Chains A and B, each alone.
Chain A
Amino acid sequence: NAGVTQTPKFQVLKTGQSMTLQCAQDMNHNSMYWYRQDPGMGLRLIYYSASEGTTDKGEVPNGYNVSRLNKREFSLRLESAAPSQTSVYFCASSRLAQGGANVLTFGAGSRLTVL
């Protein structure tokens, strides 16, 4: 099915370990995003990429790095995981809708636990 694919779906890390969350979309969207969702905090933007070759910080970028590998793929890397990064991570891509608005399509999420 067309859409946004994230891997892995679940991951447990120890403090200090590193890992990369992978995201790919097959809808030919220009923009891609990484959000995290925590109880009571809602969805918060970590990084986004408006187009291939560009990335920008969102609301909570500290402790993360991203790579827009090509138009399809946008990865999120935790260099040294901390318990505060325990969260559900959502990748999304967007198309332009009426009036120039970005309509997001999300991946199924990656549940990360840092011990």
Chain B
Amino acid sequence: RKEVEQDPGPFNVPEGATVAFNCTYSNSASQSFFWYRQDCRKEPKLLMSVYSSGNEDGRFTAQLNRASQYISLLIRDSKLSDSATYLCVVNFQAGTALIFGKGTTLSVSS
């Protein structure tokens, strides 16, 4: 089983749609979790951290389920500008490097 797995997509949705991405991780002792966003031919940028209680940032909601070892990202009211690749990132142990999933591609169309 790969350490961090994501559905690669692509997810093709119309503007205004709600879309959800899931990510599973293999190490039950993982300590911290993130979603990064990567635009085509650009560097990844932090979208949001994922906290145990779940957290929201505008139209974006992140959830963590430690028992099932998955995290999710929900995007409401999708915009054209949301089109990008979303990377699930896990830190297995404090002070060690982050492990990236391969990413899920989202395409929002008008």
A residues lining the B interface (CB < 8 Å): 33, 35, 40-45, 48, 50, 58, 90, 94, 97-109
Closest 8 CB pairs of A and B: A101-B32, A42-B102, A106-B43, A100-B94, A43-B100, A48-B97, A45-B97, A101-B91
Interface range, B side: 20 to 34
Is B43's CB under 8 angstroms from A108's CB? yes
What are the residues of chain A within 8 A of B31 when measuring CB–CB?
Answer: 99-101
Bound Cα distance A43, B100 (Å)? 6
Does B26 have its Cβ within 8 Å of any Cβ on chain A?
no
Can you show 25 pairs from A to B with CB atoms below 8 A apart? A35-B100, A40-B102, A41-B102, A42-B87, A42-B100, A42-B101, A42-B103, A43-B100, A44-B100, A48-B97, A94-B98, A97-B49, A98-B49, A98-B51, A99-B32, A100-B31, A101-B94, A102-B91, A102-B95, A102-B97, A103-B34, A103-B46, A104-B98, A109-B41, A109-B43
Distance in Å: Cβ of A106 to nearest Cβ of chain B:
4
Smallest Cβ-Cβ distance to A56: which chain B residue: B97
User: How many A-B pairs fall under 8 Å by CB?
Assistant: 60
Interface string of B41-63 (1 = CB under 8 A from A): 11111100101000000000000
